Amino acid sequence: MIKMQQLSKVYRTHLIETHALRGFDITVKEGEFVAVTGPSGSGKTTFLNIAGLLEEFTGGDFWLDGVSVKGLDDNARSKLRNEKLGFIFQGFNLIPDLNLFDNVDVPLRYRGFNAAERKRRIEEALGRVGLSSRMKHYPAELSGGQQQRVAIARALAGSPKVLLADEPTGNLDSQMARGVMELLEEINSQGTTILMVTHDPELAARAQRNVHIMDGTVTDLTQETRLALQHAVEVA
Amino acid sequence: MWNYYFLLGWRSLRRNPILTTLMILILAVGIGTSMTSLTMLLVLSGDPIPQKSERLFVPKFHIADMRGYKAGDKPDFQFTYIDTKNLLRDKRAKRQTALFGLSLTVDSGRKDLPAFSERGMATTSDIFPMFDMPFRFGSSWSADADDKASNVVVIGPELSEKLFKNENPVGKTIKIIDRDYTISGVLDVWQPTPKFYRLYGSDATSRPEQIWLPFTNAVSREFSNSGWNNCSGEGAGSGYEGWLKSECTWIQYWAELDKASDAAAYRDYLSAYVAEQKKLGRMPRPEPFQLLSLREWLEDAGVVGRDTKLSTWMAFGFLMVCLVNLVALMLAKFTARAGDIGVRRALGASRKEIFRQYLIEAGVVGLVGAILGLGLSWYGVHIISSRLAEADDFYRMDFRMLLITLLMSISAALLAGLLPTWRACQVRPAIQLKSQ
């Protein structure tokens, strides 16, 4: 589903060059639930942004669902992003002056669905996250957990192949975080590939696969290492 | 997507209402000011009689002697009585008319309506068909009445209503100064804009005269010209007869030709006439005559004054200042929306779509600004008309002006929105999404 080979990303200013990713290789198969961990500044978010076609990479190759992303123009990247990817952010990123229905409607508008199809998808997506009865509410009228559910509904409405989640529970208390995580697991169980950046080892442990990013390079962790890391975190 | 973007633009007006109100007000004031000035300019520079303006001409002669002559001096804009009489006699145009202004006293004979002063025009019967003047009742006096200097009159609709209410007064008489005049017709409402037929001694924004009587009759009664008299050389002579024989210019002359191309032949006629007059010792100046089309006549008379042109330029300069302010406000508004733009980009909006959305939003500001600007323009035109023009509705906004206002406001807003929209498209979604 996602394949990156020798990917590099360099941020340049007139004074310095910063290598955010270097020789980055990763393959994520369809249906996997991958947790991405690593210390701050290691390159996790850069990786997610490149995977989400929100940033261009400097070198290497990247295939998304078999399509080479290299050299695509803004229109093609936007189309690909709209059709194949769904995003969930730490800060929810709902549009405050649109109600839930209209928030979920945003990616569907860019997809070009007709009104009836959009309505069907919005109702289904909001129903899936348990917010059917709140369609006319505005984001500010919801709790953080509910807002994140709306963000998940918005990400799911377009039936994406891959869900990219950047610290999806970072702004939630533990109970709400658990609820969101259960929802992500349910979505994954129905076939959607999930790539989740997290600092939380407990959440990372619930993913099928863990990758660790350090200084812009990636390490695939074994089950044993994951458990050891989790234990070390718990002891600390 | 256009409808969707329009809806978003409409909703966006409610977001940050103070900023939105400022944007709309700035645009509306700029549009209101410039459209008020533009309306004045367009009304004054309009064609007052488009159906035949190409066939209407004003001949001008150099009457004065060589004293003070400079090459390029314009000929007199009015005629002497001598030339008027000669040209009317020759009848070389399809129609020809002469006119001079009158200030008359009308005695209604009614106790409830004391004698009052009214403006009039001494002219010939050709003027009515020549300028397509509409009649409410009756018609012009006859050519025979012209020849016989009869006491006949055509009155304007306001005078008719004042004296006879809604009755048809044709055949009745009104007392002008001390004689009865038989009414042959009543004009319908007629307000050429600008009032072109007599620009000197009468303002281009004034109402048409309410009394029209035969030129010959006015001369026979020795009515003096209420308007511009220009005497040079020997001066006015003595008495009314001396006045008529003098080289003073005081009569406006118009000729209607069959077709515009007949102007060359008419020029030949004028040239021959001038040659004949030169033999009589008149018109000594070189290039002694001009034949102006209606359009040339309006320009020559400076109907669109320098003040009007200058104020229009200044109004558009003010609009530019407003637009610069609008750009700054839009930049502030759109920059505050960087987060939304980041989200939309992440959800599949291309830069092109963001550009469309925000430009349409700017267009919505333009549309609302147009509605308010239209109100301000209408009010501005109304104030100008009531203060500067004799006819209250002389300056008025027609459908064309409404359309221009709408288009100008939306175009101005789109123009002002270009930079902020372009900046909005440059938002890097990754940074915005993380920073929210």
Q: Within an 8 Å CB–CB cutoff, is residue B195 touching chain A?
A: no
Question: Interface pTM (ipTM) of the complex?
Answer: 0.87
Q: Can you spell out the DSSP letters for B284-295?
A: -SSS-EEEEEHH
Question: Do B134 and B40 belong to one domain?
Answer: no
Question: Do B315 and B188 belong to one domain?
Answer: no
Interchain contact, B346 vs A45, CB within 8 Å: no
Question: Do B231 and B148 belong to one domain?
Answer: yes
Q: Within an 8 Å CB–CB cutoff, is residue A75 touching chain B?
A: yes
* Residues 245-304, chain B, touching A (beta carbon < 8 A): none
Q: How far apart are CA B298 and CA B426, in angstroms?
A: 53
Report whether B36 contacts B381 (CB < 8 A). yes
Question: Do B247 and B124 belong to one domain?
Answer: yes
3-state secondary structure at position B59: strand
Count of residues in chain B: 436
Parallel, antiparallel, or unpaired: how do β-strands B179-187 and B152-155 relate? parallel
Contacts of A94 in chain B (CB under 8 A): 343
Which range scores top for mean pLDDT: B208-217, B231-240, B392-401?
B208-217
Report whether B149 contacts B239 (CB < 8 A). no
- With 0-12 / 13-18 / 19 or more C-beta atoms within 10 angstroms meaning exposed / middle / buried, residue B326 is buried
Among chain A residues, the shortest Cα distance to B347 is held by: A107
The reported pLDDT for the residue numbered B436 is 52
* Cross-strand partners of A193: A162
* Residues 318-347, chain B, touching A (beta carbon < 8 A): 339-340, 342-347
Q: Within an 8 Å CB–CB cutoff, is residue B309 touching chain A?
A: no
Q: How far apart are CA A93 and CA A106, in angstroms?
A: 12
Structure tokens at B167: 């009755």
The reported pLDDT for the residue numbered A116 is 94
Q: How far apart are CA B334 and CA B420, in angstroms?
A: 6
The reported pLDDT for the residue numbered A149 is 87
Question: Quick one: average pLDDT of B255-268?
Answer: 93
Size of interface A-B (CB pairs under 8 A): 69
Contacts of A97 in chain B (CB under 8 A): 11-12, 14-15
3-state secondary structure at position B427: coil
Label residue B273 by pLDDT band (50, 70, 90): very high
Label residue B392 by pLDDT band (50, 70, 90): low
Test mutation, B4, B337, B343, B347, chain A, max A CBs within 10 A? B347
Tokens 């035969």, located at residue: B214
Interchain contact, A54 vs B344, CB within 8 Å: no
The angle that helices A144-157 and A115-128 make with each other, rounded to 10 degrees, is 140
CA A137 from centroid of its chain's CA atoms: 25
Q: Within an 8 Å CB–CB cutoff, is residue A38 touching chain B?
A: no
The reported pLDDT for the residue numbered B233 is 67
A109: enclosing H helix or E strand: helix A100-111
Report whether A192 contacts A160 (CB < 8 A). yes
Q: What would you report as the CA-atom Rg of chain A, rounded to the nearest whole angstrom?
A: 18
CA A176 from centroid of its chain's CA atoms: 18
Count the Cβ atoms, other than its own, within 10 Å of residue B18.
Answer: 7
Q: How far apart are CA B145 and CA B202, in angstroms?
A: 26
Contacts of A158 in chain B (CB under 8 A): 348
Tell me the backbone φ, ψ of residue B64, rounded to 5 degrees: -65, 160
Contacts of B350 in chain A (CB under 8 A): 74-75, 77-79
Report whether B201 contacts B227 (CB < 8 A). yes
Question: Do B337 and B214 belong to one domain?
Answer: no
Question: Do B343 and B282 belong to one domain?
Answer: no
Q: Within an 8 Å CB–CB cutoff, is residue B9 touching chain A?
A: no
The angle that helices B17-44 and B351-388 make with each other, rounded to 10 degrees, is 50
CA distance B10 to chain A (A): 12
Question: Quick one: average pLDDT of B235-257?
Answer: 89
pTM of the predicted structure, to 2 decimals: 0.71
Q: What would you report as the CA-atom Rg of chain B, rounded to the nearest whole angstrom?
A: 30
Q: Which residues contact A112 (CB under 8 A, 6 or more apart)?
A: none
Question: Do B38 and B61 belong to one domain?
Answer: no
Contacts of B336 in chain A (CB under 8 A): none
Question: Do B102 and B160 belong to one domain?
Answer: yes
Question: Do B199 and B117 belong to one domain?
Answer: yes
The angle that helices B17-44 and B306-336 make with each other, rounded to 10 degrees, is 160
- Domain A31-57+67-235: CATH architecture, name and number where available: 3-Layer(aba) Sandwich (3.40)
Contacts of A89 in chain B (CB under 8 A): 433, 436
Residues A141-173: b if buried by 16+ CB within 10 A, e if exposed: ebebbbbbbbbbbbbbbbebbbbbbbbbbbbbe
Q: How far apart are CA B249 and CA A114, in angstroms?
A: 78
Nearest to A49 among B1, B430, B436 (CB): B430
Structure tokens at B416: 């002002």
Q: How far apart are CA B269 and CA B401, in angstroms?
A: 42
Q: How far apart are CA A192 and CA A189, in angstroms?
A: 7
Q: How far apart are CA B375 and CA A1, in angstroms?
A: 59
Nearest to A78 among B4, B340, B350 (CB): B350
Contacts of B428 in chain A (CB under 8 A): 54-55
Q: Within an 8 Å CB–CB cutoff, is residue A82 touching chain B?
A: yes
The reported pLDDT for the residue numbered B433 is 72
The reported pLDDT for the residue numbered A230 is 59
Mean pLDDT of chain B: 88
Q: Within an 8 Å CB–CB cutoff, is residue A91 touching chain B?
A: yes
Task: Name the stretches of chain A with pLDDT < 50.
Answer: none
Strand runs (DSSP E) across chain A, as ranges? Answer: 2-12, 17-28, 33-37, 59-64, 67-68, 85-88, 162-166, 193-197, 209-214, 217-221
Structure tokens at B177: 């100064």
What is the torsional sign of CA B70, B72, B77, B79?
positive
Strand runs (DSSP E) across B94-144, as ranges? Answer: 95-107, 116-123, 135-138
Last residue of a domain, one of B269, B300, B331: B300
Report whether B172 contacts B110 (CB < 8 A). no
By residue range, what is the domain housing residue B417?
2-45+305-435
Parallel, antiparallel, or unpaired: how do β-strands B116-123 and B179-187 relate? unpaired
Tens of pLDDT, residues B14-61: 888 888 999 999 999 999 998 888 888 887 777 888 888 899 999 999
Report whether B58 contacts B83 (CB < 8 A). no
What is the torsional sign of CA A139, A143, A144, A147?
negative
Count the Cβ atoms, other than its own, within 10 Å of residue B212.
Answer: 27
Q: Which residue has the higher pLDDT, B93 or B426?
A: B93
Percent of residues in chain B assigned helix, strand, coil, to nearest 5: 50, 15, 35
Which of B355, B241, B256 is closest to B51 using CA atoms?
Answer: B256
Label residue B217 by pLDDT band (50, 70, 90): very high
The reported pLDDT for the residue numbered B428 is 81
Question: Do B27 and B120 belong to one domain?
Answer: no
Label residue B311 by pLDDT band (50, 70, 90): confident
Question: Do B198 and B256 belong to one domain?
Answer: yes
Which range scores top for mean pLDDT: B172-176, B192-196, B386-390?
B172-176
Tens of pLDDT, residues B327-337: 999 898 888 88
CA distance B343 to chain A (A): 7
Interchain contact, A45 vs B430, CB within 8 Å: yes
Contacts of B15 in chain A (CB under 8 A): 97
What is the torsional sign of CA B210, B216, B222, B227?
positive
Overall domain count for chain B:
2
Give the up-direction half-sphere exposure of residue A217: CA atoms within 13 A in the CB hemisphere.
4
CA B252 from centroid of its chain's CA atoms: 19
Contacts of A49 in chain B (CB under 8 A): 430
Q: Which residues contact B290 (CB under 8 A, 6 or more apart)?
A: B59, B60, B74, B75
Domain coordinates of chain A in residue numbers? 31-57+67-235
